[in-house]
Amino acid sequence: MKRRLLLVSNSTLHGGGYLEHCQQQIKDFFGKGVTRILFIPYALCDRDGYAKTARDKFNSLGYEVDSIHEASDPVEAVRNAQGIFIGGGNTFRLLKCLYDNSVLSEINKRVLQ
């Protein structure tokens, strides 16, 4: 069973911009086959602002971004995602929202594909 995860412990490195320090690893990980990424901004209260930050960065790397908080069906959004990027912040808020929106088990299934 092949599992593909890229774990990044922080979104900024002192003196750099959002995901600047790992943008090449992100591009290498997603490759050319992925054109759309599902962003999960549940760890912050300002989901719109967080999604805009992620969208701006990923757009500059050549990816379109859908934010799960804008989806009418979050579970279906995870099922159909070409790639998933989960933003950090408050881990307890993130986990609660993943459970509340019934997407944690679906993300697990996608990781195990």
The pLDDT assigned to 72 comes to 97
User: Hey, how many other C-beta atoms are within 10 angstroms of the C-beta on 32?
Assistant: 7
CA distance 36 to 62: 9
Question: For residue 84, is it within any domain?
Answer: yes
The pLDDT assigned to 78 comes to 97
Question: For residue 6, is it within any domain?
Answer: no
The pLDDT assigned to 3 comes to 73
User: The domain containing residue 92 runs over which residues?
Assistant: 37-112
Question: For residue 28, is it within any domain?
Answer: no
Question: For residue 107, is it within any domain?
Answer: yes
Tell me if 37 sits within 8 A of 63, measured CB to CB.
Answer: yes
Question: For residue 69, is it within any domain?
Answer: yes
Distance of CA 82 to the CA centre of its chain: 11
Number of domains in the chain: 1
CA distance 3 to 49: 30
Question: For residue 53, is it within any domain?
Answer: yes
pLDDT (tens place) for every residue of the chain, 113 residues total: 567 788 888 898 888 899 999 999 999 999 989 999 999 999 999 999 999 999 999 999 999 999 999 999 999 999 999 999 999 999 999 999 999 999 999 999 988 88
Question: For residue 100, is it within any domain?
Answer: yes
Global pTM?
0.92
Question: For residue 10, is it within any domain?
Answer: no
In CATH, what number is assigned to the domain containing residue 87? 3.40.50.880
